[in-house]
Amino acid sequence: MQEADAASSRKDFINKVNISKKEIQETNYWLKIISGSEIINNQNNLQELAWLLQESEELIKIIGSILHRTINK
């Protein structure tokens, strides 16, 4: 998102926000993969993983909203 702030045009901004959304969606995907595996079995780490999943879901919604509002302006 920091790059999007330095965008040279509206089209460039939309492109950079879209890239940010794709990146957080990929992060969310890998967090779900980790969550579904038995890699993490420490209770504190499982709680942190659940928190990270929740945060990534919220970021996807926020970035999606920014993208939607910018495109529909």
Domain of 64, in residue numbers: 2-71
pLDDT for the residue 1: 60
Q: To which residue do tokens 């920091």 refer? A: 2
pLDDT tens for 3-14 read 666 668 888 889
Give residue 52's Cα distance to chain centre.
Answer: 10
Q: How many domains does the chain have?
A: 1
User: What pLDDT is stored for residue 68 in this prediction?
Assistant: 95
Compute the C-alpha angle 46/22/7, nearest 5°: 125
Digit-coded pLDDT (tens) for 12-64: 889 999 999 999 999 999 999 999 998 888 999 999 999 999 999 999 999 99
At 2, the pLDDT band (50, 70, 90 cuts) reads low
Residue 4: the pLDDT is: 60
